[in-house]
Amino acid sequence: MPVQAKIGPSILNADLSNLAAESQKLLDNGADYLHLDVMDGTFVPNLTFGHPMVKSLRNKIKTAFFETHMMVQNPEQWIEPMADAGVNLYTFHVEPVQDVVRVSRKVQESGMKVGLAIKPGTEVQDLEKYLSIADVVLVMTVEPGFGGQSFMADMMPKVKWLRENYPNLDIEVDGGVGPKTIHCCAEAGANMIVSGTAVVGASDQSQVIKELRDVVHSYLK
């Protein structure tokens, strides 16, 4: 099936004390899914939230598609709790994982889709041996850890390579993506767009989400 344009706002820089309302607002404004940034203070130098918070959010928001972006040292540890919390797509970084295939299988056995993420310093070809098992590949366009950083355009060759070789793969970009950088991502072949500050901080979220989706759509064959 051909890939579709999907916009997944990152709630990292939203008012986390008001997460359910902030998330619902993004969905009402046209978000296709929610990108939930989980950080453990070890894999990245920052700390956010874990499965109890995701489960509470799921209790308030029953049907939306949830992706957790696991910026954690031991993603295997959180598979079951996140599946139980109602996560749909479990995206983890391959860098600290010894047996990516085994962890991916566990994710799928627990009923979630598998996303494989790479940091800017990781070669995209390192993922090739796992692409038959991955549902999504996430190419980071900033160093993971913080919202509001500048987009790294030099990551686009990774996206291009993936799109050229895997026309039906869901390719996600994350970090510094907004109306100014979306053309670059869409042209390279990204179809799943994470956008934090550019969407959450917008005075008209629905307009920005629509703009991002329209640009991606215009490049999809």
> Is 201 marked as a binding-site residue?
no
Q: Identify which of 150, 117, 106, 136 has the alpha carbon closest to the alpha carbon of residue 39.
A: 117
Among residues 45 and 167, whose Cβ is nearest to ligand DX5?
45
The contact pattern for ligand DX5, residues 174-203, with x = CB under 6 A and - = no contact, is: xxxx----------------xxxxx-----
Q: Where are the beta strands (DSSP E) in the chain?
A: 6-9, 34-39, 66-71, 89-93, 113-118, 136-140, 170-174, 192-195
DSSP state of 3: -
Amino acid letter, 44:
V
177 binds, among Zn ion, ligand DX5, none (CB under 5 to 8 A by kind): ligand DX5
Is residue 174 among the annotated active site residues? yes
> Taking CB under 5 A as the rule, does residue 174 contact Zn ion?
yes
Distance CA 200, CA 177 (A): 12
Do 148 and 175 touch, CB atoms closer than 8 A?
Answer: no
107 binds, among Zn ion, ligand DX5, none (CB under 5 to 8 A by kind): none
> Taking CB under 5 A as the rule, does residue 119 contact Zn ion?
no
- List interacting residues with ligand DX5 (CB under 6 A): 10, 12-13, 35, 37, 69, 142, 144-149, 174-177, 194-198
Residues designated as active site: 37, 174
